[in-house]
Structure 1
Amino acid sequence: MHETLEEIQADSRKLIEGQVNVYFVIFSFILLYAFNKTPVFLLAFLIFSALSLYSTGFSYFRFLRVPSYFIVPALFVIAVITPGEHLVWLFSREGVETAFRTFLRTYSSLSLMFYLIFTTSIPELLSALKKLRLPDFVVEMMSLIYRSIQIFLDELFRLETSAESRLGFANRKSFVRTAALIGYSMFVKSLDRAEKLDMAMEARCYSGKVPVVSGRNKGTVHALVVISLLTLAGVVL
């Protein structure tokens, strides 16, 4: 079954809610790269992975698996090509250390981003950014781009489902032909859907300003505890 991000966000359990959740993630990112230490990366990865698992369960690993297809081979290359003292087979000690540090840095960042995605809807994110005095046109463009991406993905899912039901991916030749047809159909149908979206927004008196969502903040204490742990790890370790 096709599960959208909106459904995941709506069904997720949240220890921290509201605009404080957005500021919490932003400040955690700042701490992560201000200290730039392996213990901070490791601690952030463990904490935000635990928060994501609490929020969405094992769906977190399903989403984390996709970038891993690109990251793991890159880490292997880093471990091989980095010069230094020979450790084992093709790997040097410096290469393994660099790959391990890159692994922690990358996955700690991903864990923060996935946590924010799972627990914060776009209206909540845009509302928090507007409170930070982000220009209105930037917030509006972010909202429209996100909605357009959702339209593209929804249309792509429909076309792929239709093609699979007609054995469009049965062999290599049919795969190439079907992919070309889907690409053409995506272009045409997406333009039509985008035009309908524009008409729907105008019918609802859209004036060019994104409405701000006002909701309650929750979990400020939890956020402060995590921020304190990251700061302590960066200062002491």
Structure 2
Amino acid sequence: MFKILFQLLAISAAFVLTAPVNNSTTGISKLNSQQYNVVPFGHVDLDDYLSNSTTFANHTYLSAPGSQNGLERRGSVHACQGSFTKKLCITGSNAANLVGALCHSISVALEIQSGNHNCADTGVHSVSDQTQGTVYYKYKTTGKGCTTTAEPGTIEGALHKFIKEKNQDKICDFVCIRLTHGGNWSGYVGLGTSQDAVKYSRCDHEIGSWSACVNGDKGDR
């Protein structure tokens, strides 16, 4: 028991993972609707992913939500992004450990939520590093039982690739990413450096601002 406690303390010394953030409105000014009606939005398609695959199909698509035209069913990632004001940014190359911890934390959280058949909004959480700063995130799933068979490593790699390729290797105020993995399951992940933007910006089935897209996979972690 002491050994396990020591290991947990050693991990927490470097990062604070999935730390719940105060979700009350006290002391926080809600963002003006003009600031969060249009946000970056990505779609990550995990369908038919091979767990031992390390390939990356570098194709660009223009696609509407739900369309399969031109998409490779074997591709593990289909990410699309719109536009949003970028003010507070963390660069991935300068905060590799923080970005890696963020993607890992989200992937594990989604696995737990899937196993518990939990469809509820979990509020805002954070990942912090003493030298690299803090990133906030929230997640919610939809579909029958809110359950997916996607591996955590697949989700982790997809998120990492999205940040690197479609967010100019940066995490800024806010971005909303939709994850799909066959069937009717969808996972919505909102993340960014602004706690207010993450808390109040919409990130659910009503989001649909699309533009350039990219394919990637778990090998891109």
TM-score interval w.r.t. the shorter chain?
Answer: under 0.3
In proportion to residue count, which structure has more helix?
1
Larger radius of gyration between Structure 1 and Structure 2: 1
Scaled by the length of structure 2, the TM-score of the pair is: 0.23
More strand per residue? 2
TM-score (norm 1): 0.22
